Structure 1
Amino acid sequence: MEALFKNQTTFTKTACIEAALSANKTYISILLFLSGVGLIHTGYTAYMIQEYTLLLCCMGGAIIAFVTPFYIYRSQGIKNYKSQLMLFEGSEPQVNITIYEDYLTFNKCISSINGDKSESSIKHDKITAVYNFKENFVIVYANQIYLPIQKTEFTKGSSEDFKEFLLKKGMKVKRKII
């Protein structure tokens, strides 16, 4: 079977952050947003009855509720990036990804004892989501594996063609804004 796309992705800080952002659970963000709105409403009521201590507590809580979704996943991405740097002795790991009609293969980042890098393959029907970020596509398999694919590093094909390929396969490419 002929390879449709080839890509060499480097797990940079941005790639790790975007992979972590794709793990963001939308319902948690919605609950935090509603909590923030509720705290603003309570703060306004406290202002009207001149309870300024409660007002300050509510405004602080609202700020925390609105900022939390951004902070949690970005900090998790940075933590993952630092762990990879330690694991690979200060260098950013590179993953070669080859996309075929029915599956994709990628080399595992860690070499075996004899120095060979092994490959894993995953069928496209296991994809649960695809996110389109500024610098990466993040493919989510079974809500457990998050594989970033850098848009600028295609050695065969292009990022626009890859997006069209995913759409032809019936996968929705979601634009994640957070």
Structure 2
Amino acid sequence: MSTKPLSRTEISLHWIVGLGMIALIAVGLYMTRAEGARWLYPLHKSFGVVILGFILWRAVLRLRKGWPADVSTGAKWEHGLARVMHWVLILGTIAMPISGMLDSYMGGRGLTVFGFDLIAANIGDTGRPVAINKALGDFAENVHILAGKVLIAAILLHVVGTLKHHVIDKDNTLRRMVGHS
């Protein structure tokens, strides 16, 4: 556990990853429910690949520097729950884009980022994508869906916990995350 203040890089990565994931989850939910939203898939995938870079940077930084020291004097169970939620958030934000990319690749749809093919689609004789490994693609899709649901719950708990720290405990948890510790 690190007692050093959070760097501007750590704070920036927290907000880039957090807001990026919230936006991607919201767009993902919209895409799967709205008629005529297929045009969003390439953007969703592209931003998912880009955010993965920030997610990995943040995860490596967190593992190298350790978790920040608690600024609250909450109960031991609260600190334990916060630690578990932080791990869920880190692992969930890694699982989401990787499972999405694996779903797309194994489903034969390739991996394109803003119009540039990182991995070309596996196009069959009919002109349509052919799965490379349907079972693995389906598994990755299920992980992507499950990770999204877990992340929605974890993000909501994270926000509620932050508001509790700010409004009820009146400690510096939120101030630290906006760079005013």
TM-score, with normalisation over the residues of structure 2? 0.25
Instruction: Name the structure with the higher strand share.
Output: 1
Higher relative contact order (CA 8 A, sep 6+): 1
Instruction: Name the structure with the higher helix share.
Output: 2
Could you say which structure has the larger radius of gyration?
Answer: 1
